[in-house]
Amino acid sequence: MSAKRSILCAIAFAAAAVASAAPLPATIKIGVVETLTGDNSAYGISIRKGIELAAEEINASKLLGSSQLALVVADDKADKQEGISVFTKLINDEKVSAIIGPTLSGTAFAADPVAQKAGVPVLGTSTTAVGITAMGDFIFRDSLPQAAVIPGTLAAVIAKYKPQKAALLFQADQEYSKSEADVFKASLAKLNIQLVATESYSKGDSDFRTQLQKLFSKKPDILVLCSLVGEAIPVLQQAREIGITVPIVGGNGFNSPNVIKNAKEAAEGLIVGSSWFIDSVVPKSKAFVEAFRKKYGGDPDQFASQGYSGLFIVANAIKGSGSADRTAIRDALGKVKGLDTTLGSFSFDENRDPVCQSVPLTVKDGKYVLFQ
Amino acid sequence: MDLSLLADPVFLAQNLVDGLSRGALYGVYAMGFTLIFGVLDILNLAHAATFMWCAFVGWLIMAAGGAPLPLGLVAAMIAGAAIALMLEFVAFRPLRREGADKLSSMISSIGASLIMVSVAEAVFGVQTRRFPNSVLNPKPFFIGGAGGVRISRAQILILAASVLLMVALGLFIRKSRMGKAIRAVAASQKAARLLGIDVNSVIVVTFLVGGALAGAAGILVALLTNNIVPGMGNQIELRGLAVVILGGMGNIEGAVVGGFLLGLVETLTIAYVPGGSDIKDAIAFLILFIILLVKPNGIMGRGKADRA
């Protein structure tokens, strides 16, 4: 942190303080609701790391003047009831100004209405299902919705492999997976790829060979998978085990390095779409990767990057509104335009969904690299 | 119904292999379950938790400790026997001594199960554990060359284990002295005691054998699905119970045959019924229901006197 920048920040803060009547409180509480236990903690723990790094930087740089952000972190356990109870507690007892989270779309569909009703702004940093922000005008996300990622990913796959036929596997009783499967189906139809077979599985299943065998028997040119990390790993392994060698396209759930770490060689060649990747040349992203490595001793992933940028987006909204008031923050979030983040230049559209880039990636030698 | 799939003999053979190996798992699990039921007339609902703990013991020894598979299998069976023995002394014998009814024993086993799952969650966390490829090469064999029928080492192991354990247990129950004592206790504890049989030690042996079978099932399921979590017992618990009833309560061979049947029905439903994976449980249990309407004592069920 350079002295020059802190002076600039101080001036900016002074200007903001003059503009609004009441100064910002000494501490502003931000709720962070993520999945920190179970298989899906692969996403939640990563997001928390990104957010905590951002909080340190925001407080150290005095982005909000003498005001400090205080994170109230809670585990939603990837459970709807738990999500609702944690949201209620953060809103009523902790009196948070805004909430970042929850990790899974399914939890968001259950918990976000609680915040909407109480008038607390929510920023999802990993929810991608169709209809998340449609729950209300307090619900935002910086994670690209499936419809913004999938067509681009498929277009890149078409350019390289020219597939005619696709097969799809998803989890029938999981909101994220079901929504993603629907978006894939629509995109495939639009791109004139014939969907020759669709199969599903349910929560708790661990043997997917029969479904995969059935898909395989239809001789698809590509296989599309919509799974969360707990199933993504065995699905990939079993697909390769039964002899499926065609390119595999994964949904957002496959964006975690945890998938690569556990599925090992079965993950090689996997194609995903993402808002971010480790070698991104966006200036903010380079600084973020460096700071993340320094603090945690490992590489960040897409979820850490979206969490990190998420808190900066909220902090900038607080700064812009000059207030820790929930409605004022909501109004300021709506005005975020061209903000410099790790995801590139970031804006919200009129539906409170993010407008930022999406890139196709593939797994090569155990790492996500640009798919070309 | 997808006609092109019906005409594909390789696809059918593949599903038979997958279905039988899925069923073999249910069979091994249900054997221990039905043995304890046959002898004591109580449902040991902690059998699933025992099964889960054994999978973790196997994982600890093989994945974390680097032990070879046979050692892991033996260790898991010993762990299963030890856990079942503990259950007998903590959850069942005190109640039996007080002359409590069968329902109390079942409730007591539910309590034991909840404690065991919670302890596993505290010790291992709720994250999925997996075996490294070094434990058992996951690369399958293809009968009839590439594009033929796939069978993995784990599937061969489980099919062999289910039949071997069934034959061994059947011989033990029918031919050995202890087996005869077990059958006597199953028929009537009072009469067995009058004949000079040490009922408590017979029950201890029953728990040891039943627990060892839970251990074998735990490690085999872990190898086949490579998915070890504290909640893994939930997936097999209800199916195990169904298989026991289907085969005839207390009937060892019935448990294995019932297991094969359920595994086949589930797999063939996923394979041939459109949307089958969503309704496989509904179809499997519907068929079960119909079989029980025709044969209320189960496929191989006889009267109570003949149990175990």
Segments making up each domain of chain B, as ranges:
3-127+151-306
A278: number of Cβ within 10 Å: 17
Question: Which of chain A's residues have a Cβ under 8 Å away from the Cβ of B227?
Answer: 206, 234
DSSP-derived secondary structure for B162-179:
HHHHHHHHHHHHHHSHHH
Interatomic CA distance for residues A217 and A165, integer angstroms: 12
CB proximity B134 to A under 8 Å: no
Structure token digits, residue B304: 């109570």
Question: How crowded is residue B60: how many other Cβ atoms within 10 Å of its Cβ?
Answer: 17
Q: State how far residue B281 is from chain A, nearest Cα, in angstroms.
A: 11
CB within 8 Å: B224 and A207: yes
Q: Average pLDDT, stretch B104-108?
A: 92
Asked if residue B194 has pLDDT above 90, the reply is: yes
Ranges in chain A, pLDDT < 50: 1, 14-21
Position A3 scores a pLDDT of 54
Helices (H), chain A: 3-19, 41-60, 80-92, 105-118, 146-161, 175-190, 209-216, 229-241, 257-263, 283-296, 302-321, 326-334
How many residues does the structure list for chain B?
Answer: 308
Nearest to A214 among B128, B139, B271 (CB): B271
Q: CB-based contacts of B280: which residues, under 8 Å, 6+ apart?
A: B266, B269, B270
Residue B49 or B10, more confident:
B49
Whether residue B45 contacts residue B102, with contact meaning beta carbons closer than 8 Å, is answered with: no
Architecture of the domain spanning B3-127+151-306: Orthogonal Bundle (1.10)
CB-count burial class (<10 Å; 0-12, 13-18, 19+) for B79: buried
- Chain A nearest C-alpha distance from B280 (Å): 10
**How far is Cα B244 from Cα B121, in angstroms, rounded to an integer?**
28
Q: How confident is the model at residue B49 (pLDDT cuts 50, 70, 90)?
A: very high
Cβ contact, residue pair A233, B225, below 8 Å: no
pTM, to two decimals = 0.87
Nearest CB to A38 within list B126, B234, B271: B126
**A217–B5 C-beta distance less than 8 A:** yes
* Interface ipTM: 0.85
Looking at residue A119, its pLDDT comes to 97
Q: What is the pLDDT of residue B300?
A: 82
Using the structure block, give the residue that is written with the tokens 């008031």. A325
Q: What's the rounded Cα separation, in Å, for the pair A214 and B11?
A: 8
**Residue B100 has what pLDDT?**
85
Return d(Cα A313, Cα B33) in angstroms, integer.
Answer: 57
Question: Would the CB atoms of A37 and B138 count as touching at under 8 Å?
Answer: no
3-state secondary structure B240-252: HHHHHHHHCCCCH
Name all domains of chain A by residue range, CATH numbers in brackets: 3-144+279-357 (3.40.50.2300), 147-274 (3.40.50.2300)
For A210, the closest of B140, B146, B270 (CB atoms) is B270
pLDDT of residue A17: 46
Once rounded to an integer, what is the mean pLDDT over residues B89-99?
91
Label residue B231 left, alpha or beta by phi (over 0 means left) and psi (-120 to 50 means alpha). alpha
Asked whether residue B107 carries a pLDDT value surpassing 50, the answer given is yes
Q: Which residues of B, range 2-31, sit inside 8 Å of A by Cβ?
A: 5, 8, 11, 14-15, 18, 22
Least trusted range by pLDDT, from A3-17, A61-75, B47-61, B251-265: A3-17
CB contact under 8 A, B224 and A243: no
Q: How many CB atoms lie within 10 A of CB A304?
A: 30
Point out which residues pair with A225 in neighbouring strands: A169, A250
B127 with A39: Cβ contact below 8 A = yes
Cβ distance B235 to A217 less than 8 Å, yes or no, reads no
| Interface residue of A43, A75, A82, A210 to substitute, partner B, most B CBs within 10 Å | A210
Query: Average of pLDDT values for B237-255?
Result: 90
Judged against a pLDDT cut of 70, whether residue B303 lies above it is answered with: no
> Is the peptide bond preceding residue A102 cis, with omega within 30 degrees of 0?
yes
Label residue B302 by pLDDT band (50, 70, 90): low
Best residue in B128, B142, B153 for a mutation probing chain A (most A CBs within 10 Å): B128
Nearest to B278 among A202, A233, A234 (CB): A202
